[in-house]
Amino acid sequence: MQNYRHKTSGKTQKLVITEGEMDAMSVWEAQPHWDVVSVPNGAAAAKKAIQNNYEWLQYYDKIVLFFDNDEAGHKGAEEAAGVMPPGKVYIGFLDDYKDASEALQAGDSEAIRAVCNFQHTQYKPDGIVDAKSLIDVITTPTPPSDHDYPFQGLQNKLHGIRYGELVTITAGSGIGKSSFCRDLCTHLLNKGERVGYLALEESNRRTALGLMSAAVGRSLHLGEHDRSELVEAFDQTIANWNLHLFDGFGSYDPDHIYNRIEYMASGLETKVVFLDHLSILLSGLDGINDERKMIDQTMTKLRSLTERTGISLFLVSHLRRTSGDVNHEEGARVTLGQLRGSASIAQLSDACIALERDQQSGSESGSTTVRVLKNRYSGEVGVACKLNYDLSTCKFHETAIEAEFDATTDF
């Protein structure tokens, strides 16, 4: 760094760092009581120059980065401030001039002194918030949820659906994850919510018919139906819904999916998104050698996307294959450790809901146990409710949970 003046008088040691040598000399002429230096190779190399002089900079109590008021100067100042002694760094720019040299040539020494003395702000890295600034955020009343779940037992455990949360739904193969999601989706659509639905394993026709079936109580996706019947159902449902689907069957590039979800949230003001399912999303990645690592990366991006856009994201995830007596297709209990591929699915989800049913029982409408595996909101986990699925109406019907035996009261 080019040191044009180094004074040590006074109790508080103050330093100005400029982007160029002419600026350093201009600052010294306008403000002769502060030490002034310049970075040697412009704003782009400022970070490296600061790192090379870190020990020397620790001597000062206050450091003002006085760079050019242009894009390169703003970027360089932010990058340099990030590697400087914490709590001492301030950033300031001239309003009416590009740099200190231009201001001095215009005879405006006062503008230079203003940047040095008060026209600057203390650098705070992104993500660091003074808690005292949160008074309005903390004290503004907010409802416990934005929507209720359609099943009372699940509502009692999770206390509702909240924007900004990621909820994972899991079960064995063929247990009814997609049907469960359609039921949740139609519940929200009928309440007027704006919903995005990305069913990566089926066509939009199948998705639409499934949602219509759940709404009107007829299995429109099975068998053949007259056009008039389908038009009537369409007019009762999709024609009145705020629903957007993803037309990308056979195209699973994850970055493409993230982009479309963000567009739904920001461009279409969609508040709830269903993504079915995680495994097929990963199938769009070529040459996967480490599935766990890819799931970690994908979950981190989905978590960030959920928080950044403020949507409520329902994510379907498969269970890993088990050996021995644990068979989820025959009703075995689901645990968090059985989520496929990575612990990040459980760690980054606000809630995890598991469906358990013995699909080999011979009854298509056999009882499904809905179990809450994780609940970041209140910590309440365990069996939430039992559901019976009626194939003819495509609807779930909640049944009461049998109370567990209590030795202290049940004799």
Note the pLDDT tens digit of each residue in 368-398: 999 999 999 999 999 999 999 998 889 999 9
- Is residue 71 in a domain? yes
Do residues 30 and 102 share a domain? yes
What are 170's strand-pairing partners?
317, 354
Q: For the chain, what is the radius of gyration of the CA atoms?
A: 30
Q: How many domains does the chain have?
A: 2
| Angstrom distance (rounded) from CA 399 to CA 397 | 7
Do residues 324 and 224 share a domain? yes
17: helix, coil or strand? strand
- Is residue 116 in a domain? yes
Note the pLDDT tens digit of each residue in 94-140: 999 999 999 999 999 999 999 999 999 999 887 777 788 889 888 88
Do residues 190 and 52 share a domain? no
- Is residue 129 in a domain? no
The pLDDT of residue 133 is 85
Do residues 101 and 159 share a domain? no
| Angstrom distance (rounded) from CA 336 to CA 319 | 9
- Is residue 280 in a domain? yes
Q: What is the mean pLDDT of residues 168-193?
A: 94
Assigned token pair, 213:
């079936």
**214-221 own/partner pairs: CB under 8 Å, 24+ apart:** 214/179, 214/182, 214/183, 214/185, 214/186, 214/394, 214/395, 215/186, 215/189, 215/190, 217/393, 217/394, 217/395, 218/392, 218/393, 218/394, 219/391, 219/392, 219/393, 219/394, 221/394
Do residues 47 and 185 share a domain? no
Note the pLDDT tens digit of each residue in 26-39: 999 998 888 999 99
| Angstrom distance (rounded) from CA 190 to CA 186 | 6
Burial of 385 (0-12, 13-18, 19+ CB in 10 A): buried
Assigned token pair, 220:
């429109």
Instruction: Tell me the CB-side half-sphere exposure of residue 224, using CA atoms within 13 A.
Output: 0
Do residues 114 and 162 share a domain? no
The total number of residues written for the chain in this structure: 411
Do residues 238 and 359 share a domain? yes
Do residues 187 and 309 share a domain? yes
Q: Which of 84, 105, 122 is the last residue of a domain?
A: 122
Where residue 157 sits, what CATH number does that domain have? 3.40.50.300
- Is residue 141 in a domain? no
Do residues 70 and 168 share a domain? no
- For the cut 80, the answer to whether the pLDDT of residue 321 exceeds it is no
Q: Which of 122, 140, 173 is the last residue of a domain?
A: 122
The DSSP code sequence of 306-326 is: HHHHT-EEEEEEEBPP--TT-
- Is residue 98 in a domain? yes
Q: Which of 122, 137, 171 is the last residue of a domain?
A: 122
Do residues 83 and 166 share a domain? no
Other C-beta atoms within 10 Å of 319: how many? Answer: 21
Do residues 242 and 192 share a domain? yes
- Is residue 130 in a domain? no
- Is residue 128 in a domain? no
What is the domain extent for residue 76?
2-122
Do residues 102 and 209 share a domain? no
| Angstrom distance (rounded) from CA 289 to CA 190 | 43
pLDDT band of residue 211 (cuts 50, 70, 90) is very high
Note the pLDDT tens digit of each residue in 279-318: 777 765 555 567 778 888 889 999 999 999 999 999 999 8
Instruction: Tell me the CB-side half-sphere exposure of residue 205, using CA atoms within 13 A.
Output: 3
The DSSP 8-state label assigned to residue 44 in this structure reads: G
The pLDDT of residue 257 is 86
The pLDDT of residue 323 is 65
Helix axes 291-309, 254-266, angle to 10 degrees: 10
Where residue 57 sits, what CATH number does that domain have? 3.40.1360.10
